[in-house]
A and B are shown apart, each in its own frame.
Chain A
Amino acid sequence: MAKNAQTKNESLYLKKVNKRKLGGSLEFTTSRLAFQVTGVLALLLVLWQVLLPLVKGEEISTVIGIITAIYGLEFLVQFIIVKKIEKEITGTAGEISNITRKMGILLLPSVVTGNFLVFIAGAMLLKKEKNLEYQLAVYSLLVNIFVILISLFNLFKDTIVYTFWTGIGFYALYAVLNLVVIAAVSKYTFGKKPDKKFLPFAVICLLGIALGNVFSFMLGLIALGKYFNKNEEVSVEWIDVIKRLFRNYTAVIGMFFVVLFISISIGSNLTFDYDIAISNNFAARLAKPSLMYPFGCDDYGRCVFTRIIFGASISLIIGIISTIVPIIIGGLLGAMAGFYGGRKDNVIMRVLDVLHAVPSILLAIAIIAAFGVSTINLILALSVSMIPSYARTVRAQVMGISNQEFVEAAKACGAKNGTIIFKHIIPNSLAPVIVQATMGIGSAVLSTSSLSYLGIGVEAHVPEWGNVLKAGSTFLETNPYIAIFPGIAIIIIVLAFNFFGDGLRDALDPKLK
């Protein structure tokens, strides 16, 4: 009996050790998520696109059949690799063998089918030592490939916009440069300080922001930041935050989607035809999803896919502006209230209480009722209703910080109030505001689409996601896909911002420093 219990305890202990080992391995975590998600997707495809039509006696389209088969194959390969990794890590060697690492090459082509998780798993598996720079370069490449892939859907259309090949050329060129950067990263950046030879590559990376590639921009910044860091023993704080962020895989995936949406909304100006998104084409009225119109057409014959792509930039711009404006106004008010306290605090907070008492959507409706339906008014309405919550966050932070010793020291040195607020208090109270803002962009996108759905958001002809959905809701019975796809786009971007924000919260947590 006792011996039995002891072995049981031992096995439990072993299990825990193994679990910790596996959890610490980037190869395993990425691969596991890849095979799980691919499995679920493959299963859904089989159920809905193959079995359901079979039961109903309909024909299965060949494109869907091929995609299902490919996903099944990806799932199998990934599954075998996961099992291999698990065995090798928990085995005697304790590390992944070179043969298994070579198998990562098998996973890379899956990016063509849009399965980025498997691609990431492959890229992480291929290289033994991975630093932050390597990961960033891989994600940057991934974003590039995705933008090219999404843009290539235009080839199925009758006409392509005349700047199409220029746009594709830009992204393809940058993808090639990105491959070179990955090679350079593995060669030059594995010291405490990047090699001097990496600097030109860092500049290339910085240029990526023109294409909306935030990952490569960050890579460039980090390389420069590390290179110009005077004291090598002390790590740069913001680089540490990014490092902690990249330990959280779901947050990185959220960030990937955010960057992808930014990148595609910049790239779409070159590679997508705005005419298809807004001008009527009654020949294609309510067309079903096909390769030419991946998400079908709405009642004016406008391609829903193109509309969603252009909607990304509109949603992002509205979301970002209507988050930045209340941060500035609310932040200033909150900082003043928290820093001065007493009478000023009372007056500011009572005024904000009035704003806070009205539910934000209702306030937005009232403002739009007064000033009419337009994008500027929408941004104004969303901003005003968000001011109190940012002011409260900043106030609470500032009140905590302004009682600390370093502020007192600054006062004793004779610093002016303005200097203290802007140089000492605001930088130190930024972390919760950044987290709130990240989530705030997501909820602003939600509010925008809700108001557009009510017909009081963006002007009706603009391809904003809520507008696209509103058009689709009329044809819910006959053509549900018009309403389904913009909704999924909204969910993905809001979910991405939420995951990213959650990860940022953990990464910025002072307890972890």
Chain B
Amino acid sequence: MKSQKINDTFARMYRSSQYRIWLWILGFFTMLAVHIVYKTKKGKDAFAGMKEELRGQREMQDLKEQFFQDALVQVQKKNEYFKKTMSESEAQKQARAIADKNFEQLLNDKTKEQAEMQKVHEITLVSCYAELMQNPAFMAVSFVLSFPMYILMLLFMRPIAKYITERLFLMIFVLFGVTWLVFTILYIAPMDAAMNILGQTATPEQIANFNHIYGLDQPYLTQLFDTFKNLLTFDLGNAYQGNEPVMTAIMAKFPITMQVTFSSMVVALIIAVPAGIVSAIKPYSSFDYIAMFIALLGLSIPNFWLGLMLILEFSINMGWVPATFQPGNWVTLIMPAIVVGTGMSASIARMTRSSMLEVKNSDYVLTARAKGLAEKKVVLKHILGNALIPIVTMIGMSFGNLMGGAAVTEKVFNINGIGSYIVDKQFIPDIPVVLAGVVYISFVVSLMNLIVDILYAFIDPRIKSKMKNY
């Protein structure tokens, strides 16, 4: 039973050309053994014999000749129509090729038909594998030698796991692309970090020495390769300025940025979703007009200006909350969360309203009402539930903007997060800091997008069933 499942998975994986490559890479020894067995057995089994026997038959030879004549007429007609002149031998060559192709196809089909009747199986690589797996010794050795292949198989068996793996795999390429892009931009930069740090009075020797210490005198490809390696091993060396290890600084600052981002997301959701729902239920009412005006206003207010105004009103004039952020003090988190959350809640509220309005007049909503469901259930389960996909997409998209725009808010509230770290260091430009900051933030954003895509499956059963057959 279990071995049957393994064989099936193997067959399905072998069918796709991309997975075939991965089977060879991850399970080289097993594949090699299977391949050798397959090569030795091929052409010597009952199936091949049957095919040769059919080919030798008289009527099949006649059929081949007939195919050739048909193809010749076809080629001639075609030339006539397109007013093309072609030599006789050329036309015959073309016709022969067509005829051969057709004949092989027919032969294959016929053999298969006959084989099925006589219960003879064609030998393939997959069937060789199945046969070998019957042998417990081979199975054990194969499990030990090519366990990565079996891990891949395990992932392949579960559709959602397979989907996630494939997306993660693509993400790695995208992140390599991002690294390459940002590195190249910084590499071709006319800005000279050595000059900026050592000052105008630096001698050429000092600059050369600086460049040597940080590996800036290496050729482009070496530097690029080192960057990849450093990012993967989380060892980014020291920053040019201050000489602190970049990774420690980033590790200390990342959680702060994430804290601000997630709390503002919570604020945004608390404001936006109820406002959007009420606006959609009572469209063109006063509440709708006012809420949507405020939403548009929220989209148009610059974050830093709103931050400054809040500081002016609540910190300077009223003295309620401190103007700057202190880690661990949640009161100081309120204003940044509101500022960052405003823009986000505006777009989410607008999206909630429009996507709920779209499904509001569907037939199934009418049905739900007709069968006497409570209004609350109709709205929350049937309307909101079916309008959720665009809303979730919007949330995922705003997350990227949040992480990117964090730099500005962090500057306003003097938050010691990764955004303001990048901005501080970009004047030099401190290449490792800028690079690592951008790449790691892009990584988090991509991961968030992946999570949103997976969430679709849990929200929409149609997508889930599509994924099951994936």
Partner-B contacts on A (CB < 8 A)? 350-351, 353-355, 357-363, 365-372, 442, 446, 449-450, 453-454, 456, 466, 469, 473, 476-477, 480, 483-484, 487, 490-491, 494-495, 498-499, 502
A446 to B441, CA, bound (A): 21
Knowing A358-B438, A361-B404, A365-B407, the reply to whether A446 touches B302 (Cβ < 8 A) is yes
A495 touches B296 (CB 8 A): yes
B277 at the interface (CB under 8 A from A): no
A483 to B401, CA, bound (A): 24
B99 at the interface (CB under 8 A from A): no
Contact with A491, one of B190, B301, B405, B446 (Cβ below 8 angstroms): B301
A359 touches B434 (CB 8 A): no
Q: Which residues of A contact B175 (CB under 8 A)?
A: 357
A424 to B408, CA, bound (A): 43
Q: Which residues of B in the span 257-315 have a Cβ within 8 Å of any Cβ on A?
A: 296-297, 299-305, 308-309, 311-312
- Per the CB 8 Å criterion, the residue count for chain B at the interface is 48
B174 touches A369 (CB 8 A): no
A33 to B434, CA, bound (A): 49
Chosen A-B contacts, 23 in total, with CB atoms closer than 8 Å, are A350-B173, A351-B177, A355-B181, A357-B174, A357-B175, A357-B442, A357-B446, A359-B404, A362-B437, A365-B422, A369-B191, A369-B427, A369-B434, A370-B185, A370-B186, A372-B191, A442-B300, A450-B302, A456-B423, A476-B308, A487-B301, A491-B302, A498-B300
The B interface, classified by DSSP as helix, strand, loop or mixed, is helix
A60 to B181, CA, bound (A): 59
B407 touches A370 (CB 8 A): no
In this complex, the member of A355, A442, A476 whose beta carbon has the largest number of chain B beta carbons within 10 angstroms is A476
A365 touches B311 (CB 8 A): no
- In the complex, the number of residue pairs spanning A and B with C-beta atoms less than 8 Å apart equals 145
Q: Which residues of A contact B405 (CB under 8 A)?
A: 359, 361, 450
B411 at the interface (CB under 8 A from A): yes
B411 touches A454 (CB 8 A): yes
Shortest Cβ-Cβ A-B pairs, 3 listed: A359-B404, A370-B189, A354-B177
A357 touches B445 (CB 8 A): yes
Contact with B308, one of A355, A363, A368, A483 (Cβ below 8 angstroms): A483
B34 at the interface (CB under 8 A from A): no
A499 to B296, CA, bound (A): 8
Q: Which residues of B contact A476 (CB under 8 A)?
A: 308, 311-312, 316
CB of A111 to closest CB in B, whole Å: 24
A480 to B305, CA, bound (A): 11
B407 touches A361 (CB 8 A): yes
A359 touches B301 (CB 8 A): no
B296 touches A498 (CB 8 A): yes
A371 touches B434 (CB 8 A): no
B426 at the interface (CB under 8 A from A): yes
Contact with A480, one of B300, B312, B400, B422 (Cβ below 8 angstroms): B312
A361 to B409, CA, bound (A): 12
Given contacts A357-B175, A446-B302, A483-B312, 5 further A-B pairs with CB under 8 A are A357-B177, A358-B441, A359-B401, A453-B302, A473-B412
Q: Which residues of B in the span 406-437 have a Cβ within 8 Å of any Cβ on A?
A: 407-408, 411-412, 422-423, 426-427, 429, 434, 437
Q: Which residues of B in the span 190-216 have a Cβ within 8 Å of any Cβ on A?
A: 190-191
Q: Which residue of B lies closest to A486 (CB)?
A: B305
A357 to B175, CA, bound (A): 8
